[in-house]
C-alpha cells in the first residue's frame, strides 16, 4: 500500500466498495487500526484484521475477507520478525492464506545489509507453512515478496544484479520454494515479459513500464487444482504497487 492512510486519500475506499474479491490482503499498511478512517476500521460486508508493526508508521499487514476466518495467526515465534508486523495466516476450512509483507534486503544506507534478515524471514515462514501443508491444508501465499525471481520479472535485470530484490541468493531462496512444490500462479497463465507489479516513483518509470514483478500468489500442490486464473491489475492507482491475485474454484474451502 505504501501507507493505507495515503491510499485512502487517493480513493481506496471507493475501490474497496467495488472490489469483488473474497479475500484481500494488504501489505505496508503503516498505521495503527485506530488511525485509519472509520470505513477502513469496520468496512461494510467485510471481516477485517490488522497486524501493525511495533514501530509507528512502518510495515504492517491487513486482511479483509467476506467470511470470518476459522483461525488467524500472526507470529513466527521470533520477536525480531513479529515486531515488524509482516504476517497473517488465516484458515478458511481447508484453505490457508498467508498474507505476507516480506522484508526488503536494503538497509537505511541503500546497502544490502538486511539481506540476511530477509532470508531468515523467508526460511522461517517456509518452515511454518510446511507444517500446514503436511496437515493437509491448501496453502496460498500472497503478498509483496520483494524479490523478482527471474530476468523476465523486471525490465532491467542486468542493471540490478547487485541490488537487493534481484540478488542471486534472494532468487535462489524463491527458487527453493518453487522446487518444494509451490507454483507461481501468474506464470502458470502468462509466460510473456512486460508484466510488473511495482515501479519506482522516480523518472516516470510507471509511464514507461520500467518495473518489477515482486508481488506474487504462490499456490501449494494441494491448492493448484483449484486455480482458475491469475492476474495483475496495472491500471489501479494509489500506490507504487498494483493488486495481484488469483481466481479459484469455491471448492478450495471444502
CA-wise closest residue to 144 among 80, 202, 86: 86
User: What's the rounded Cα separation, in Å, for the pair 103 and 119?
Assistant: 9
89-101 burial by CB neighbour count: b if 16+ within 10 A, else e?
bbbbebbbbbbbb
CA-wise closest residue to 232 among 218, 217, 242, 247: 242
Residue with cell 503478498: 143
Catalytic site includes residue 144: yes
Strands 138-144, 183-184: pairing is unpaired
User: What's the rounded Cα separation, in Å, for the pair 146 and 196?
Assistant: 12
User: What's the rounded Cα separation, in Å, for the pair 88 and 231?
Assistant: 22
User: What's the rounded Cα separation, in Å, for the pair 250 and 254?
Assistant: 8
Q: Which helix (DSSP H) or strand (DSSP E) does residue 232 occupy?
A: strand 227-232
User: What's the rounded Cα separation, in Å, for the pair 191 and 57?
Assistant: 37
Give the active site residue among 82, 111, 127, 144: 144
Report the catalytic residues: 144
Amino acid at each position: 500500500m505504501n501507507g493505507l492512510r495515503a491510499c485512502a486519500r487517493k480513493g481506496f475506499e471507493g475501490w474497496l466498495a467495488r472490489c469483488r474479491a473474497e479475500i484481500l490482503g494488504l501489505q505496508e499498511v503503516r498505521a495503527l487500526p485506530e488511525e485509519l478512517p472509520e470505513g477502513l476500521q469496520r468496512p461494510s460486508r467485510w471481516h477485517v484484521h490488522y497486524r501493525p508493526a511495533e514501530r509507528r508508521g512502518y510495515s504492517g499487514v491487513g486482511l479483509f475477507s467476506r467470511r470470518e476466518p476459522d483461525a488467524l495467526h500472526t507470529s513466527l515465534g521470533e520477536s525480531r520478525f513479529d515486531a515488524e508486523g509482516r504476517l497473517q495466516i488465516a484458515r478458511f476450512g481447508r484453505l490457508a492464506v498467508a498474507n505476507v509483507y516480506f522484508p526488503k534486503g536494503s538497509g537505511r544506507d541503500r546497502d544490502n545489509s538486511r539481506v540476511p534478515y530477509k532470508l531468515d524471514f523467508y526460511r522461517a515462514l517456509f518452515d511454518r507453512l510446511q507444517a500446514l501443508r503436511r496437515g493437509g491444508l491448501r496453502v496460498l501465499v500472497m503478498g509483496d515478496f520483494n524479490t523478482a525471481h527471474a530476468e523476465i520479472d523486471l525490465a532491467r535485470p542486468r542493471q540490478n544484479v547487485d541490488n537487493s530484490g534481484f540478488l542471486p541468493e534472494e532468487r535462489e531462496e524463491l527458487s527453493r520454494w518453487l522446487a518444494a512444490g509451490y507454483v507461481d500462479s501468474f506464470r502458470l497463465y502468462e509466460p510473456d515479459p512486460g508484466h510488473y507489479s511495482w515501479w519506482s516513483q522516480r523518472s516516470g518509470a510507471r509511464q514507461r513500464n520500467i518495473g518489477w514483478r515482486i508481488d506474487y500468489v504462490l499456490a501449494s500442490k494441494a491448492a493448484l487444482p483449484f486455480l482458475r486464473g491469475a492476474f495483475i491489475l496495472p491500471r489501479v492507482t494509489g500506490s507504487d504497487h498494483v493488486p495481484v491475485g488469483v481466481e479459484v474454484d469455491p471448492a478450495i474451502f471444502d
